[in-house]
A and B are shown apart, each in its own frame.
Chain A
Amino acid sequence: MSSVVATSPLTAQAFKSSYKPIWCPGCGDYAVLNSIAKAFAMLELKPENVAVVSGIGCSSRIPAYTNCYGFHGVHGRSLAAGSGLKIARPDLTVLVASGDGDGYSIGGNHFLHACRRNVDLTYIVMDNHVYGMTKGQPSPTTEPDWDSKLSPGGTGLRTFHPLVIALAAGANFVARAFSGDPNGTAEIIADAIRTPGFSFVEILSPCVTFRPEQRDWKKLVRPAPVATTDDPARAARRIMTDDGFNIGVLYKGERRPYQPPIRRDTQRVADLEAEFTI
């Protein structure tokens, strides 16, 4: 038998842990997990060189389902933890995962400043326009007229526009993907990881339990009809005028990532404490 398999880079399966996801059957997050694993395999990474950091929510369970280092952190604070990790350990590939509630509401402020700071990490948000784990409350991306028992008649609130906000705040890579296209999503995630700086990928990931109508998203998504641009003004115009279902890399800039020099003189906690002694 050929030795090709033994000497080949790791397969996508090697990036998955033995823990079985407990997402609802049909949830888009299963496919996102596959896409992340495929992206890592495409890039020929090793699990020990990758950290997956998350906040709280259905999507934030994802670190446990990978075989990489993981941190299932505090609600809305995944970017703070991920940024700190990347700055301290620039040798690691850091992928931060979140949902639309965790990332845009509780963690909204962190989102803005992570874009602005431009640390070299990839931020994926699995957007299903609802708080799933807490049983179906409207999130910042929920449509204003979504009628539910928890929001009778809808919230009436304008939806948050994460892609254009990321762009305005300084993200260096902005893309939209769809969980129903796992290979396309894997390629976008791989591109995001390869691109230096803060890469933001919004992944439309249907919640079949609280938003069953999102099963129709697969009929609505389409490849973005325009090529990737490095002009933020043009990208902003496109994003503001599309219907939210154009898939692809919508902006790729050339901002230099934020990476302060690593101090080697504070190796111990006591050294740090001494620094803050008044």
Chain B
Amino acid sequence: MSAGKRKKPGARKPAARRSASVMGRKKPATRSDSTGRADFLARAWAMELEAAERYATFADAMEAHNNLEVAELFRKLARIEQLHADQLLEEDLARHRPALPPAGIRWDEGEGPETAAPDELHYRMQPYHALQIALECEKRAYKFFADFASSATDLKVRKAAREMAEEEAEHVALIEDWLRRVPPPEEDWMHDPDPPVVSD
């Protein structure tokens, strides 16, 4: 989850991050960098889209296995992420809709920071587990923007990244609070009275 009250996310990223690390020191903040700003926006948008798509896939998978409660939760998470992606376009990117590579952005970590790993699902999982997955995604998204904010050389990018990081931190707190209100699973939550594995 991210966006919501998002303002004008400025721009700037990889080029600045790379040059800073290569030189072993940060460059002084500059007033503007349109290329870097576009790149930053593209990454923020792609991150939301990828997260939304993954949650939607999770929802479909859980629905196919008749775990409707968790399916609905993932569906909700997908809607929220999609909303954030749409908001980014509406608020800031209408004139500069990012042209993402056809195969998507190649993230350093393999997938987008807010994208849940596909192997974290289990057909008998409960809302508690789904929220734990979402919590980890939010934490990674927070770190992504916080790192961005600390390394960006463009002032607007730095400001926007900081705002986004703050939002992600709010989402982390929100999900932690949500988790406190959801009953934790029983120890044998995986137990299936009609298991897929052949029994004797």
Interface residues of A (CB under 8 A from B): 1-2, 4-5, 8-13, 20-28, 30-31, 38-39, 41-42, 44, 135-136, 148-150, 179-184, 186, 206, 208-210, 215, 218
Quick check: A208 and B119 within 8 Å, CB to CB? yes
Q: Which chain B residues have a beta carbon within 8 Å of chain A's beta carbons?
A: 53, 57-58, 60-65, 67, 94-97, 99-100, 102-104, 106-107, 110-111, 117-123, 125, 196-200
Contact present for B107 and A135 (CB under 8 Å)? no
By a CB distance below 8 angstroms, the chain A residues around B62 are: 25
Which of B57, B97, B100 makes the CB contact (< 8 A) with A1? B97
In the complex, the answer to whether B61 meets A4 with C-beta atoms within 8 Å is no
Q: Which of B60, B103, B198 is within 8 Å of A21, CB to CB?
A: B60
Of B64, B103, B107, which is within 8 A of A39 by CB? B103
The answer, among A9, A20, A26, A148, for a CB contact under 8 Å with B121, is: A26
In whole angstroms, what is the CA distance A142 to B95 when docked? 54
Q: Assess whether B64 is in contact with A22, with CB atoms less than 8 Å apart.
A: yes
The 13 listed contacts between A and B (C-beta, < 8 Å) are A2-B95, A2-B99, A11-B103, A20-B60, A20-B64, A21-B61, A25-B121, A25-B122, A39-B103, A180-B110, A206-B119, A210-B196, A210-B197
- How distant is the Cα of A20 from the Cα of B122 in the complex, in angstroms? 17
A interface SS class: loop
Q: Could you tell me the distance between the alpha carbons of A23 and B61 in the complex, rounded to whole angstroms?
A: 7
Question: What 3 pairs across the A-B complex have the smallest Cβ distances?
Answer: A25-B121, A41-B102, A4-B99
State how many angstroms separate the Cβ of A139 from the closest Cβ of chain B. 15
Q: Contacting A136 at CB < 8 Å: which of B96, B120, B197? A: B197
CB-defined contacts of B121 to chain A, threshold 8 Å: 25-26, 208
CA distance A206 to B64 in the complex (A): 19
Of the candidates A20, A28, A148, the one whose C-beta lies within 8 Å of that of B119 is A28
Contact A184 B110 (CB under 8 A): yes
Closest to B123 in A: A25
B3 to chain A, nearest CB (A): 19
Is B111 a contact of A30 with CB atoms below 8 Å? Answer: no
Q: Choose one: B95, B118, B197; the contact of A26 (CB below 8 Å).
A: B118
Interface pair B200/A30, CB less than 8 Å apart: no
State A181–B107 Cα separation when bound (angstroms). 11
A42 and B103 CA atoms in complex are apart in Å by: 5
**A181 and B110 in contact (CB under 8 A), knowing A2-B96, A135-B197, A136-B198?**
yes
Contact of B102 among A2, A42, A135 (CB under 8 A): A42
Q: Within the complex, which residue of B60, B95, B104, B196 is in contact with A209, where a contact is CB–CB below 8 Å? A: B196
B139 CB to closest chain A CB, in angstroms? 19
| Minimum distance in angstroms from A10 CB to a CB of chain B | 6
Q: Which residues of A sit under 8 angstroms from B110, Cβ to Cβ?
A: 180-184
Which residue from chain B places its CB closest to the CB of A137 in the assembled complex? B198
A25 to B120: give the CA distance in the assembly, Å: 8
User: Inside 8 A of A208's CB, which chain B residues have their CB?
Assistant: 119, 121-122
Cβ-closest chain A residue relative to B99: A4
**B64 / chain A contacts, CB cutoff of 8 Å:** 20-22
* Chain B neighbourhood of A41, CB < 8 A: 102-104
